[in-house]
Amino acid sequence: MRILIAEDDAVLADGLTRSLRQSGYSVDCVKDGAAADAALATAQFDLVILDVGLPRVSGFEVLKRLRGRGSALPVLILTALDGVDDRVRGLDLGADDYLAKPFALQELEARVRALTRRGQAANTSLLRHGDLAYDQVGKVAEIRGRMLDLSARELALLEIFMQRPGRMVNKEQIVDLLCQWGEEVSTNAVEVYIHRLRKKLEPGGVKIATVRGLGYCLEKAANGARKAT
C-alpha cells in the first residue's frame, strides 16, 4: 500500500512517515500543495493524508483538483482548523475523513487502516491484459489459467506495467517505483529483469515492447485492453 503525505510541518511529516513505514506502508512525502497536486496527477497511491494549510496551493484546492480529475482516491484531511464550517467544506469537496490537530498517532493509524480497507473493497485487485491476469493482493500472475513462476521483482515489474496500460515507462521511472516499494535496483538491473520477464511472458503471447529513448510497455492485447473484474 502506497501513501502520500502532504504536510509542511517537517517534524509532524517525519513522525507520520516513520510510523506508517514501520506499519508496512510505502510512504512518499511532499511539503507543499503544488508538489502534492503534481504527485497525485502523475503517480498512483492508495491513500493521501492531506494538510489543508499547505503553502503555494491549499489542501482544499488540491482535493478539489483531485476530485475534478475523477479520482476516487481515499483522502484523510489533517488541519489545525477546528471549526464546523471547515470540516463541512473538506467533506463537501470529497474528503473521506477528517482529523483535527493535535491528534493521537494511534487514532490516525486506525483511520488509515479503515480508509485503505475501504479503498481495497471499492477497487478490484485483479488486473487483466488480454489473456494475462494479475492479482495485486495475492501477488499471482497467470496466462489462460496457467500460473507464471515469477520472482518478487518480476512480479513488481509486471504490476508496474499492468497498472499503466498503454503508457511508456522508462528505466529511471521503474527504478524509482521499485525503490518506493522497498526494492533497491540499478538501471542496468532493470534491463536484466525485463529480459527475464519477457522470456516468461512471450510463450503465452504477451510481449513487452521497447521504444528507444522512451522506455517499455506491454504491447496491446490481441483480445482487448486491460479490464478489471
- H or E stretch at 4: strand 2-6
182-202: average pLDDT = 86
- H or E stretch at 59: helix 59-68
Residue 191: phi, psi to the nearest 5?
Answer: -60, -40
Q: What pLDDT, on the 0 to 100 scale, is given for residue 216? A: 93
Q: What pLDDT, on the 0 to 100 scale, is given for residue 92? A: 86
Q: What pLDDT, on the 0 to 100 scale, is given for residue 83? A: 65
Tell me: the pLDDT tens digits for 85-115? 777 888 888 898 888 888 888 888 888 988 8
Tell me: the pLDDT tens digits for 54-87? 999 999 999 999 988 888 889 999 887 666 777 7
Residue 123 clears pLDDT 70, i.e. is over it: no
Residue 13 clears pLDDT 90, i.e. is over it: yes
Residues 6+ apart with CB under 8 A from 74: 46, 47, 48, 96, 97, 115, 116, 118, 119
- Residue 214, CB-side half-sphere exposure with 13 Å CA sphere: 8
SS3 per residue for 118-161? HHHHHCCCEEEECCEEEECCCCEEEECCEECCCCHHHHHHHHHH
The C-alpha cell at 200 is 516468461
Lowest-pLDDT choice from 7-11, 27-31, 63-67, 175-179: 175-179
Residue 180 clears pLDDT 70, i.e. is over it: no
Q: What pLDDT, on the 0 to 100 scale, is given for residue 228? A: 37
149-177: average pLDDT = 86
Residue 150 clears pLDDT 80, i.e. is over it: yes
Q: How confident is the model at residue 9 (pLDDT cuts 50, 70, 90)?
A: very high
- The pTM (predicted TM-score) of the whole model is 0.55
Task: Return the CATH class of domain 2-122.
Answer: alpha beta
C-alpha span between 115 and 35 (Å, rounded)? 23
C-alpha span between 52 and 199 (Å, rounded)? 48
CATH number for the domain whose boundaries are 126-218: 1.10.10.10
Residue 119 clears pLDDT 70, i.e. is over it: no
> Could you state, in order of their start, the residue ranges of all structural domains in the chain?
2-122, 126-218
More confidently predicted of 121 and 139: 139
